[in-house]
Chains A and B, each alone.
Chain A
Amino acid sequence: MMTTKSHDVVVVGGGHNGLVAAFYLAKAGKSPLVLERRERVGGAAATEEIAPGFRAPVLAHAFGPIRPDIARDMRLESHGLSLIAPDPYLVALTPDGRAIAFSRDAAHTATSIAAFSQRDAQRYPEFQTSLMRIARLLEGLLDGPPPDIDRPSPSDLWSLAQSGRRFRALGRRDGFRLLRWMPMAAADFVAEWFETDLLQAAIAARGIHGACLGPWSAGSAAILLLAAALDPLPGGGAVTARGGPGALATALASAAESAGARIRTGATVSRIVVRNGAAAGVVLENGEEIPAAAVVSNADPRRTFLHLLDPLDLEPGFAARARNYRAPGTVAKVHLALDALPSFPALGGDAARLAGRVHIGPSIDYLERAFDASKYGAFAEEPYLDVTIPSVSDPSLAPAGKHVMSIHAQFAPYTLRGTDWNERRSTLADAVLKTLGAYAPDLNRHVLHCHVLTPLDLERDFGLTGGHIHHGEMSLDQLYTMRPILGWARYRTPIAGLFLCGGGTHPGGGITGASGRNAAREILKHVRT
């Protein structure tokens, strides 16, 4: 067996959180080694060629945004990151050719809503303000670890007191709103404000994005509010990078390396080595052993605990909880190489309105029906779609005059009943194209190539257990002090020297870097030089 020189920290997985963690560890004087299975780092922040000359955001097609302090600390702009934030950031379409355009300026959005309902248009600005106030309170919880329930530290008590103060500053009305909204169904949440089907659906969709929940499922409002804490724009923003999300990965990697981290790609970790109850390093697939004083796993909790560790290394009660951690993926991605921009009659040929995200899912019932099929192990024939055409604002992603389209489709359950994804891949693509075709009738004519990632592909290609894009369901029982497991929400694990830093830890999925940064801070408290 070949043994490489010892590192003080090995990071398993070079996803965006792994890179952020490596950066902060390196900056604090450690010399972390990041091991990435794939040929490229970035994990869910990836731009890949789907057909010659066509590059698509194959996982997330809008991100974050990266927490502002992380972007600042890592000086991502000087590492080549150039962000694109289209406005309007979201357009929601009806099949009969109408649209609502969401702009940063609530007044603009309200004008667009007024064509559907005067009442909703009047309420919209207050909604955006109230959402922002509550989002700001929740935002305070993103940048630190959840408190330790057993032995709250002075800093836990301090941050609890801070949260309490901020909660009281919300006032009684918004304070109660927050308490009421958190456990609600997103459908109820939007119905408290609006009557227009399309508006309700476009806003509620954020509560089911990447989740195994329908808009009528309790707890979907919590996901919506947490997403709002990262980016308070109703319906969610559409920030991406020039060059696609892969460019973000490149900038993160460059920043981490300049700080002193080392990155190895094509290095698949097959096992985390535990000696005397403490992490002692990792073993690669080729048998190479890399000793380390600490191991940080950017892999999801199920992969980390159930696949990378020897079952005997975990106490049975903890192992049972790890098995009970739920990661039922529901997302499929379809990417299209297009010979021209398809026309969406609802947008009247205004290409600028295609620069952001396009929401397909005209009513709450439509979204709920899309979810229904997945409960019985089938995918939706009329799925909920979140679509971007990144080449509209970044022509470098496709040959001149041509375009690339990214479609996030739900619900496509990881486990199909009576069949499997290898058999159903093309049926899924057909269902997605047919659904989208109802909004862009000439779409099919323009398709040069269709690239499909089923939940099974997401698991195989990106190592996402169950194909779950958030590294595990963001349900109320798997959030905050319970992410991934109650009592182990502070990036530590029952194995000394083994830490988690991925989307399976607080504050969860989404490309924000918060988990990686929070984890690095905790790790530094526990790892001696």
Chain B
Amino acid sequence: MASQHYDVIVIGGGHNGLTTAAYLARAGRKVLVLERRHVLGGAAVTEEVFPGFKYSVCSYVVSLLRPEIIRELDLPRHGLEILPLDGTFTPMPDGDYLWRVNDHAKTRREIARHSPTDAEAYDEYGKAMIEMGRFVKPILRMTPPDPTRLEPGGLRDLWSLLARFRRLPADDRYNQVQLMTMSAVDFLDQWFETDVLKATMSASGIIGTFLGVRSPGTAYVLLHHYMGEIDGAFRSWGLSRGGTGAISNAIAGAAREAGAEIRTQAPVAKILVADGRASGVVLANGDEIRARAVASSVDPNLTFVKMIGTEHLPDEFVEDIRRYKYRGSSGKVNMALDGLPSFTCLPGPGPHLRGAVSISPSIDYMERAYDQAKYGRYSRRPYIDIVLPSLTDPSVAPPGKHVMSCFVQYAPYHLKEGTWDEHREAFGDTVVNTIAEYAPNLKDLILHRQVLTPLDIEREFGLTEGNIFQGELTLEQLFFLRPAPGWAKYRTPIADLYMCGSATHPGGGIMGAPGRNAALVMLKDRQ
């Protein structure tokens, strides 16, 4: 087989791999992206699973796509259009509800209905979180320093971080350390008294983690919601027209325009390593493709254990990679509906269905869902984040019909009894039954149901143990510890092999930051 030659091969055509490819191609590199599946996007993908209905199969909202990436890659010109996703509607079992929207005055009135003091605190809270977001945002762009080495660059970065922290007003400093260390519930307890408000806000702290709302370390994720909003309007918090796959397609468009070559249905079996350097890849069909460098956007388990082989790697590194925690904890249920669900507490269609509908009625409910998962069962009454994208973007469903996307937690990858293949449909039923407790007509509307367990997410999307962030976002796996101590700068123990996916700083979500940061490090290494 004749071998072709590239400057860089990017393994995986997810949004991060494509971002890396786009930046490298724009810098004049000859880039090849290899995607295993028939469609690009990784977990940011739109598929017509049922005729006429386009599901955002995995990831379903755009939260943190970095504005500099949108700008630098000129993504709107490549078809990116973000539509506003307005508000969160939380139905409650007692027939009441909590409905927060972007209109601040409206939300205040709604919260005041539950507690006037909480309505006051909500303003203060919003202001404080925006300040916190300002502090954290620059960290997303940073290449993490190595604290065990005295390198001028790393020391400068650490020092500037510390200096910025010291310049914060005392109140912000206090909030910042609390956010980094506390549980979402403990943090919110300091501001609010309404249980349902705290429950539904704390939900954002557990998404994609194997932690409960009372687990320390979950408060920090509350920030993410406010970081999106600082960049103004809805530019980075909403749905993308055509489903989340449209984001990947826009990035792919930018990459292709800059000269990158992208192949689908091209699964990589091995990374070629000679004399401690990566020199290309071998495809599953045996084809060898050579390149000066390889960037892997797949997770460390696939990259190092499957594609390289531990025998080529230092023992300590292998130990660290094996210890890296995935522990998928969520599932996804996508449905094609014949009409709109009607919630008992606020019947009929209406603007409350245009945002997220959150099944998170109380803190105890959330915590009990977690307790079951700790011992290897999926939650019998799970936390569910529901979006009906077809209300905002009619292009994803036939007229009058709808797509319903349900993000479900907790669904632990490791079940104590039975396998996910045995429990898949029962899990799907649990989700439908849970929602039907609040919207009884749901069961009569379902035309098609797709259930993704963590096992399915692993099989279909190559995410080890079904972790949607390519590894848990816990403190011991963040920043200079992601994915492995000493290897957080997108480089690896194999020369010319780089990591550019969510398993690197700053982690998962449709952010693009790992892909961009990695590309910049690669360009710096090969000036």
- On A, residues with C-beta under 8 Å from B are 149-150, 167-168, 172-173, 175-176, 179-184, 188, 192, 213, 216-219, 317, 321, 324, 326, 365, 368-369, 372, 375-376, 475-477, 482, 485-487
| Segment touching A, from B81-89, B131-139, B211-219 | B211-219
Shortest B154–chain A CB gap in Å is 13
In the assembled complex, which residues on chain B have CB atoms less than 8 Å from the CB atom of A176? 148, 481, 485-486
Is B173 a contact of A486 with CB atoms below 8 Å?
yes
* In-complex Cβ contact of B190 among A217, A324, A372 (8 A): A324
Q: How far is the CA of A321 from the CA of B190 in the complex (A)?
A: 9
Size of B's binding interface in residues, CB under 8 A: 37
Is A180 a contact of B367 with CB atoms below 8 Å?
no
Is B173 a contact of A175 with CB atoms below 8 Å?
no
Q: Closest residue to B189 on the A side, CB-wise?
A: A324
B393 at the interface (CB under 8 A from A): no
Is A477 a contact of B181 with CB atoms below 8 Å?
yes
Q: How far is the CA of A91 from the CA of B66 in the complex (A)?
A: 54
* In-complex Cβ contact of B475 among A217, A218, A365 (8 A): A218
Shortest B370–chain A CB gap in Å is 9
- On B, residues with C-beta under 8 Å from A are 147-150, 165-166, 170-171, 173-174, 177-178, 180-182, 186, 190, 211, 214-217, 316, 323, 325, 364, 367, 371, 374-375, 474-476, 480-481, 485-486
Q: How far is the CA of A173 from the CA of B316 in the complex (A)?
A: 9
Is B217 a contact of A219 with CB atoms below 8 Å?
yes
Is A372 a contact of B371 with CB atoms below 8 Å?
yes
Shortest A400–chain B CB gap in Å is 48
Is A487 a contact of B170 with CB atoms below 8 Å?
yes
Shortest B171–chain A CB gap in Å is 7
Q: How far is the CA of A184 from the CA of B475 in the complex (A)?
A: 7
With contact pairs A184-B476, A213-B216, A487-B170 given, residues A475 and B182 touching in the complex (Cβ less than 8 Å): yes
Is B217 a contact of A183 with CB atoms below 8 Å?
yes
Known: A182-B476, A365-B375. 13 other contacts (CB 8 A): A173-B316, A179-B147, A179-B476, A179-B481, A183-B476, A184-B474, A218-B475, A219-B217, A375-B364, A476-B180, A477-B177, A485-B174, A487-B174
* In-complex Cβ contact of B215 among A182, A218, A477, A487 (8 A): A218
Is B171 a contact of A172 with CB atoms below 8 Å?
no
Shortest B509–chain A CB gap in Å is 20
Is B211 a contact of A218 with CB atoms below 8 Å?
yes
In the assembled complex, which residues on chain B have CB atoms less than 8 Å from the CB atom of A168? 148, 150
Q: Closest residue to B218 on the A side, CB-wise?
A: A218
With contact pairs A149-B166, A365-B375, A368-B374 given, residues A482 and B177 touching in the complex (Cβ less than 8 Å): yes
In the assembled complex, which residues on chain A have CB atoms less than 8 Å from the CB atom of B147? 175, 179
Is B148 a contact of A175 with CB atoms below 8 Å?
yes
Is A172 a contact of B148 with CB atoms below 8 Å?
yes
Is B325 a contact of A188 with CB atoms below 8 Å?
yes
In the assembled complex, which residues on chain A have CB atoms less than 8 Å from the CB atom of B475? 183-184, 218
Is B217 a contact of A180 with CB atoms below 8 Å?
no
In the assembled complex, which residues on chain A have CB atoms less than 8 Å from the CB atom of B216? 213, 217-219, 475-477
In the assembled complex, which residues on chain A have CB atoms less than 8 Å from the CB atom of B215? 216-218
Shortest B381–chain A CB gap in Å is 15
Task: Specify which of B148, B190, B475 lies most central, judged by the most chain A CB atoms within 10 Å of its CB.
Answer: B148
In the assembled complex, which residues on chain A have CB atoms less than 8 Å from the CB atom of B171? 317
Q: How far is the CA of A375 from the CA of B180 in the complex (A)?
A: 22
Q: How far is the CA of A216 from the CA of B174 in the complex (A)?
A: 26
Q: How far is the CA of A376 from the CA of B364 in the complex (A)?
A: 7
Shortest B180–chain A CB gap in Å is 8
Is A216 a contact of B474 with CB atoms below 8 Å?
no
In the assembled complex, which residues on chain B have CB atoms less than 8 Å from the CB atom of A149? 165-166, 173
Is B181 a contact of A219 with CB atoms below 8 Å?
yes
With contact pairs A218-B217, A482-B177 given, residues A477 and B182 touching in the complex (Cβ less than 8 Å): yes
In the assembled complex, which residues on chain A have CB atoms less than 8 Å from the CB atom of B485? 172, 176, 179-180
Q: How far is the CA of A329 from the CA of B260 in the complex (A)?
A: 60
Is B481 a contact of A475 with CB atoms below 8 Å?
no
Shortest A381–chain B CB gap in Å is 15
In the assembled complex, which residues on chain A have CB atoms less than 8 Å from the CB atom of B150? 168
Q: How far is the CA of A369 from the CA of B211 in the complex (A)?
A: 15
Is B166 a contact of A477 with CB atoms below 8 Å?
no
Q: How far is the CA of A317 from the CA of B124 in the complex (A)?
A: 13
